[in-house]
Amino acid sequence: MSVIVLKPGLLSTLQDAGRPGHAALGVGRAGAVDGPAWQLANALVGNFSGEAAMECTLLGPKLKFTKTTVLALTGATMEASVDGQPIPLWTRCQLPAGSVLELGGMSVGCRAYLAVGGGFDVAKVLGSRSTDLHARLGHANGRALRAGDELPIGASTSPASAHDNNELTSLPWGVDPHPWFDFALQPLGLSPGKHSHFLDETSQQTLHREKFILSKDSNRTAGRLEGHTLNLRQPLELISEATLPGTLQLPPSGQPIVLLAEAPVTGGYPRIGQIAAVDLPRLAQRRPGDAVCFRQSTLDEAVRRLHEREQRLAKLISTIERRLKQTAH
C-alpha cells in the first residue's frame, strides 16, 4: 500500500516531531514547522504515535493512492480535490483505491500537512522520519519529494470504513482551525535575548513597534526579515554556541533572521530575542511578503502560554480520538 508522487508541488517533505538527542553531534531536530497542524492532521486519521505526515509548501503536490486510504489536510488553506471532486480541509476523508489527490496553491498560509492513516512509513534515520534538507537526513537522503517517488503507508490503527470502499467520503465533523491557525497575522511574543541590550535605542523601538516583511529567501531553516535595518551600539565578536529554533539573530547586514525547525545547532550571531514557541507555527505559516511584528514578552510568559496550548491540544486530540471511535461503531 503506497502513495505515488505524480507532481511534487513546490517543496514537499515528510516530517514528524523531529530528531531530538543528537545536537551534540551537529544534528538538528528538524520536524514539522507547524507542530499543532501536524498533530491534528495525524489525530484526524487516527494516528496517535507521532507518525510522519507530508509538509507541503505554497503549492501542494499531486498524489496517487494505490489502496483505499484515509487522509486529513490541515494548516494552510488551499483547494484540494480527489479526481476533480473538492474535499474539505481539517477533517478526515476516505479515498477509494486508485484515487488521485490534487492540492492547489495555498491562498492563506504557507504550509499544509497531509496525514494518512498509518502514517508515511519510510525508514527512520536517527530515530525520526523527518527530512532535514540542510543536513541531508531522512527519506531519500534528505531531499524534497519528487515525481515518481513511491511512499509506503503504515498499517492503520483506524481501519477504513467498511460501508463502501469505492466512494469518496468525509466525516460530518471536523476541527475548527481558528484556535490553531493565525488568520489575523498577530504580533509574535518576543522575550529578550542575550544581546538585546546592545541594540541602539532606535533599533530597540523599531524591533517592537514596526512591521517587518518576511523575505522570499526564507525556508525551513530560517525566516529572514526585511523592511528595517537594526544596529548594535558596538560590533560584537562572538564565539559559536548552541542555537535554537525561535532565536532572533542579527547578522552584520542588520536584517534579523529567525531560526526555524531546521536551525543549525551552533552559530555565532548576536541573539536579539527569542520568539515564543507557541508563536513559531504562526511565523512558519506566514508567506513571503507577509507582515511580521513583535510584542515585548518574557520567557516566563512564553512557558505559561506553551503549557496552556499543550493542554488545549491534548484535550482536543483526546476528543478527536473519542469521536473517531464513536464514528467507527
CB of 195: closest distance to another protein in angstroms? 11
With contacts defined by CB under 8 A, how many residues of the chain interact with another protein?
A: 38
Tell me the backbone φ, ψ of residue 131, rounded to 5 degrees. -85, 125
User: 93 Cβ partners below 8 Å, 6+ apart?
Assistant: 70, 71, 72, 82, 87, 168, 169, 170, 171
Q: Is 244 in the site for another protein (CB under 8 A)?
A: yes
Single-letter code of the amino acid located at 157:
T
Q: Could you tell me which stretch among 20-28, 103-111, 150-158, 281-289 binds another protein (CB under 8 A)?
A: 20-28
Q: Could you tell me which stretch among 69-77, 100-108, 218-226, 242-250 binds another protein (CB under 8 A)?
A: 242-250
Q: Which residue lies nearer to another protein by CB, 9 or 28? A: 28
CB of 64: closest distance to another protein in angstroms? 30
For residues 245 to 284, the per-residue mask of contacts with another protein, x marking binding by CB under 8 A and - elsewhere, is xxx----------------xxxx------x-xx-------
DSSP string, 192-250: --TTGGGB-HHHHHHHHHSPEEE-TT--SSEEEEES----BSS------EE--TTEEE-
3-state secondary structure of 189: strand
CB of 103: closest distance to another protein in angstroms? 31
Q: Which residue lies nearer to another protein by CB, 22 or 67? A: 22
CB of 193: closest distance to another protein in angstroms? 8
CB of 28: closest distance to another protein in angstroms? 8
For residues 189 to 218, the per-residue mask of contacts with another protein, x marking binding by CB under 8 A and - elsewhere, is -----x------------------------
| Contact pick of 1, 10, 22, 58 for another protein (by CB under 8 A) | 22
CB of 91: closest distance to another protein in angstroms? 30
| Contact pick of 242, 295, 322, 323 for another protein (by CB under 8 A) | 242
User: Torsion angle of alpha carbons 303, 307, 312, 313, nearest 10°?
Assistant: 90
Q: Which residue lies nearer to another protein by CB, 246 or 256? A: 246
3-state secondary structure of 22: coil
Contact between residue 70 and residue 158 where contact means Cβ atoms under 8 Å apart: yes
Residues within window 60-79 making contact with another protein, judged by CB under 8 A: none
CB of 247: closest distance to another protein in angstroms? 7
Residues within window 288-307 making contact with another protein, judged by CB under 8 A: 299-300, 302-303, 306-307
Q: Which residue lies nearer to another protein by CB, 232 or 244? A: 244
CB of 79: closest distance to another protein in angstroms? 36
DSSP string, 74-114: EEEEEEEEETTEE--SSSEEEE-TT-EEEEEEEEEEEEEEE
Checking DSSP bridges between strand 294-296 and strand 188-191, what pairing results, if any? parallel
CA distance 241 to 37: 31
CB of 58: closest distance to another protein in angstroms? 25
What is the distance in angstroms between the CA of the first residue and the CA of the last residue of the chain? 25
Residues within window 120-159 making contact with another protein, judged by CB under 8 A: 125-126, 134-137
CA–chain centroid gap for 202, Å, is 33
* C-alpha cell recorded at residue 47: 494516528
CA distance 133 to 138: 8
3-state secondary structure of 306: helix
Contacting positions for another protein (CB under 8 A): 20-27, 125-126, 134-137, 194, 238-242, 244-247, 264-267, 274, 276-277, 299-300, 302-303, 306-307, 310
